[in-house]
Amino acid sequence: MPEKYNHEKTKWEEDVKKTLKRFPERKRAFHTSSEIPIDYLYGSKEANYPLGYPGQYPYLRGIQPTMYRSRLWTMRQYAGFGSAIETNKRFRYLLEQGQTGLSVAFDLPTQIGYDSDDAMSEGEVGKVGVAIDTLADMEKLLDQIPLDQVSTSMTINAPAAILLCMYIAVGEKQGVSSEKLTGTIQNDILKEYIARGTYIFPPKPSMRLITDIFAYCQENLPKFNTISISGYHIREAGSNAVQEAAFTIANGMAYVDAAIESGLDVDSFAPRLAFFFNAHNEFFEEIAKFRAARRIWAKIMKEHYHAKDPKSWKLRFHTQTGGSTLTAQQPDNNIVRVTMQALAAVLGGTQSLHTNSRDEALSLPTEESARIALRTQQIIAHESGVADTVDPLGGSYYVEALTDELEEKVMDYLDRIKAYGGAVQAIEEGYMQREIHHNAYETQKRIESEEEIIVGLNQFKVEEEVNPDLLKVDEELEQAQINNLQQIRGERNQKEVDRKLQALRTNAKNQKENLIPYILDAVKAYASVGEICRVLRDEFGEYTGF
Amino acid sequence: MRKIRILIAKPGLDGHDRGALVIAQAMRDHGMEVIYTGLRQSPVQIATAAVQEDVDVVGLSSLSGAHNTLFPKVLEELEKRNAGDIPVIGGGVIPNEDIPFLLEKGIKRIFTSGSPTEEMAIYLKQLLRPEETPIPPKQIAHLGIAVKKIEEVLPFYTNAIGLEVEAIEEVESEGVKIAFLKVGETRIELLEPLHEQSPINSFLAQRGEGVHHIAFEVEDLTSRLSKLKEKGVRLINEESKQGANNSQIAFIHPKEAHGVLVELCEHPEGSED
């Protein structure tokens, strides 16, 4: 064995010992049903050399030395609908059922910075997530949920700073100081321009808000993930696996560039960058995608940005199974799709996972469907044995070849994006959008010509009456939410609100000032999401796309 | 006739436009002119655009669950602009149970997740340009084959091919004797002349034995015949007449199909089975 590899192996063995002190193994002994003992890691002496070890640069085999032998991934089901009180009930239900982290879905008005009583919000209040207007709603949402014990992921982008501040404020009221808070805000505006559509401000001030969050959290919320750079929506919009990985990494580089340009040291913020990927049906390609992305990011951070802290090199990611792969036809088949996709995410080394519910092509999931989705993860974790050794597919000729090829293709895309002048310019010129749309349309044509078979959709069809129990959001909720908001407006100290909003306005004009403390002040005075966004809309302008 | 113009619109705050964009491109590929509004359009903006762009139809896409509020609003706003006659269709994530409500409000049709774009294109052409786009026939009703003597050729179809004879009938009015052989949902008809004046006899004299005609099963035969006549298609029968099995039939002149005699037939619901 060459000296270098010997050294890596010794280092890994030391890492394992260190890791086990903090995170002991889940079981006293790991073995198969036939009493075959299961080792941490497998690799033929020859084949393992180029792969490296888990927990070591470039992290092909995983970011931790022991991966799921010590701790399983976080099971984090995205939920939220209707009012804060209803969503709080669903959260507590999911925690009781063994879920280990929260994930908040907000309704569209909240995501686009409109209050529930805004004309633009009509018909949308509480529909795709929970409606949050003021801190009062956030207090109800997180009622009896100990923020020092539960990590919370919030799918919020353009107004991420506002919702983060509300979270900090609720923590304070619970007596949990901000350094103890754990969780993630999505805060990834670039993919909103490309694929998801909940942008508010133009790219430049949006990037400023993001780097303000990086700087603020580094000081005050050191355990919080400041961004979740998302390929998920890019994939849902119709991209393929390579495009998903490539555009996500390109966006990640744009955030790193912006933060460095704002004066931050790369190692001060890079360890808190998180990623969010999709898991579609093509099993081995998905696994290869996760492994390749990890290796590419490590190389970029180390070699391109010269990050010194190994934490800056590690691509940590959340995965959600592919919503667009689910069919409205024969919806129970979706459970099988979700299982395969979840398995790919686990074999790819995900840090947390959301499994979709079978009825998502029809409406928001019912409690029963959400439970099956969570159970799917638990079965993979506790019954399949795939979590008992690290990177079980490492060294597979097929998976390693796919991983290498994906890496190569992703690098090609990164070169093309670089030629545009980076991700922001490529998005402004519509390059990524065109690539995704082209792939989406080609996929649709392949499905219609039956070149691509979707079980139950274009083959193996049945006559069926699809009328499962669907979750309906109470239509009266909108009015109730508006009443709540107006009540808060009547009760709060309006002068205080005006003062805080004016302070925010003044400082929004000053590029150098970090806006987060001003937003936090406004939030604590019960200024609403819409009111804070109106100030920022005035100062920053609005992005109108095309 | 100008091209079909369609406005594809995203009402409300929903940002998922993969479906809208795919539909837009597919309708373009089907020869339509497509105007896409982009995201976050209010019902007022959509109705205004529909009128200004003078479109033939509006397609709304929503995945956020706001359809029950926003789709009817678009109809109202069109009505206010005296454009209530512009048909509006919808798509996206729309639960089946909401569809009757939307149809009742006046949405013409809902295409849910998984609908082929082809289906929508055909629907729009039939809705907006019915004169140009006849409804596709349901199936081939039968193939007519002219023979000198049914009994001589029948053993081939029964013994060698394995078909079963359903019935043998004489149709005096046409001067033919017909053997019906069922193949799946369609039939083979063996046609034997009953006498010298039978049209089958003259066919046999000119061309010998072989395929005589192809018959399509259609709906609303009468209106089809009048549309064909308007278009200047030469018909052997300008009015439909009684055929076998309680059907109505009409023949199109073989010159139209470059030498193939085409029959259109319509069976009253359920009479074939």
Q: What is the CATH number of the domain that holds B39?
A: 3.40.50.280
Q: What is chain A's alpha carbon radius of gyration, rounded to the nearest angstrom? A: 23
User: What is the nearest CA distance from B81 to chain A, expressed in angstroms?
Assistant: 21
Partner-chain contact B114 A329, CB within 8 Å:
yes
B12 assigned to some structural domain: yes
Q: Residue B117: its chain A contacts at CB < 8 A?
A: 444, 448
Residues 34-63 of B with CB under 8 A from A: 38-40, 42
A interface mutation test: which of B8, B18, B60 has the most A CBs within 10 A? Answer: B18
Instruction: Give Cα A63 to chain centroid, integer Å.
Output: 17
User: What is the nearest CA distance from B123 to chain A, expressed in angstroms?
Assistant: 16
Instruction: Tell me the backbone φ, ψ of residue A77, rounded to 5 degrees.
Output: -90, 125
- If asked whether residues B124 and B145 sit together in one domain, one would say no
Contacts of A427 (CB under 8 A, 6+ apart): A190, A193, A194, A203, A433
Question: Residue B32 has what DSSP assignment?
Answer: -
Domain boundary among B99, B128, B157: B128
Digit-coded pLDDT (tens) for A381-406: 999 999 999 999 999 999 999 999 99
- If asked whether residues B35 and B110 sit together in one domain, one would say yes
CATH number of the domain where residue B254 is located:
3.10.180.10
Partner-chain contact B96 A546, CB within 8 Å:
no
Question: Residue B65 has what DSSP assignment?
Answer: S
B256 assigned to some structural domain: yes
Partner-chain contact A127 B68, CB within 8 Å:
no
B134 assigned to some structural domain: no
Q: Which amino acid is at A277?
A: F
Digit-coded pLDDT (tens) for B222-272: 888 888 888 889 999 988 888 777 888 999 999 998 989 999 999 886 544
Report the half-sphere exposure of A218 (CA within 13 A, side-chain side): 17
Q: What is the ipTM of this complex?
A: 0.86
Residue of A nearest to B10 (CA): A197
Task: Specify the residue for token string 């310019």.
Answer: A425
Using a pLDDT cut of 90, give the percent of chain A over it: 84
> Topology of A1-70+228-460 in CATH?
TIM Barrel (3.20.20)
User: What is the nearest CA distance from A364 to chain B, expressed in angstroms?
Assistant: 9
Q: How many whole angstroms separate alpha carbon A446 and alpha carbon A464?
A: 24
B28 assigned to some structural domain: yes
Residue of A nearest to B66 (CA): A123
Q: What is the pLDDT of residue A54?
A: 94
- If asked whether residues B143 and B122 sit together in one domain, one would say no
| Three-class HEC string of A130-149 | ECCCCHHHHHHHCCCCCCCC
Domain boundary among B79, B104, B128: B128
Give all strands of the β-sheet with B109-112 in edge-to-edge order. Answer: B33-36, B5-9, B57-62, B88-92, B109-112
Give all strands of the β-sheet with A101-105 in edge-to-edge order. Answer: A224-225, A183-185, A151-155, A101-105, A74-79, A352-354, A317-321, A273-279, A227-230
B99 assigned to some structural domain: yes
The partner residue sitting opposite A197, judged by closest CB among B22, B25, B39, is B39
| Three-class HEC string of A477-502 | HHHHHHHHHHHHHHHCCHHHHHHHHH
Q: What is the pLDDT of residue B135?
A: 79
Instruction: Give Cα B166 to chain centroid, integer Å.
Output: 28
- If asked whether residues B19 and B84 sit together in one domain, one would say yes
- If asked whether residues B182 and B120 sit together in one domain, one would say no
Q: Which of A78, A198, A92 is nearest to A144 (CA)?
A: A92
Put simply, whether B240 touches A (Cβ < 8 Å) is no
Partner-chain contact B13 A112, CB within 8 Å:
yes
Cis peptide before B137 (omega within 30 of 0): no
Q: What is the pLDDT of residue B273?
A: 45
Q: How many whole angstroms separate alpha carbon A138 and alpha carbon A169?
A: 9
Q: With contact defined as beta carbons under 8 Å apart, do B113 and B62 qualify?
A: no
| Biggest distance spanned by C-alpha atoms of chain A | 75
- If asked whether residues B75 and B192 sit together in one domain, one would say no
Put simply, whether B223 touches A (Cβ < 8 Å) is no
pLDDT in tens, chain A (546 residues): 566 667 888 888 899 999 999 999 999 899 999 999 999 899 865 545 678 899 999 999 999 999 999 999 999 888 777 889 989 998 998 899 888 789 999 999 999 999 999 999 999 999 889 999 999 999 999 999 999 999 999 999 999 999 999 999 999 999 999 999 999 999 999 999 999 999 999 999 999 999 999 999 999 999 999 999 999 999 999 999 999 999 999 999 999 999 999 999 999 999 999 999 999 999 999 999 999 999 999 999 999 999 999 999 999 999 999 999 999 899 999 999 999 999 999 999 999 999 999 988 887 788 899 899 999 999 999 999 999 999 999 999 999 999 999 999 999 999 999 999 999 999 999 999 999 999 999 999 999 999 999 999 999 999 887 665 666 667 789 999 999 999 999 999 999 999 999 999 999 999 899 999 999 999 999 999 999 999 999 999 999 874
In the three-class reduction of DSSP (H, G, I as helix; E, B as strand; rest coil), residue A259 is classed as helix
Instruction: Tell me the backbone φ, ψ of residue B213, rounded to 5 degrees.
Output: -160, 165
B170 assigned to some structural domain: yes
Full residue range of the structural domain in which residue B174 is found: 139-266
Domain boundary among B64, B99, B128: B128
Q: Residue B40: its chain A contacts at CB < 8 A?
A: 112, 120, 197
* CA dihedral (B20, B25, B31, B35) positive or negative: positive
Number of domains making up chain B: 2
Q: With contact defined as beta carbons under 8 Å apart, do B64 and A108 qualify?
A: yes
What global pTM score does this model have?
Answer: 0.83
Residue range(s) occupied by CATH 3.20.20.240 in chain A: 1-70+228-460
Mean pLDDT for back-to-back runs of 10 residues, chain B (273 residues): 92 92 95 94 95 96 92 97 96 90 95 89 90 81 93 92 90 87 91 91 91 92 87 89 83 90 84 47
- If asked whether residues B121 and B143 sit together in one domain, one would say no
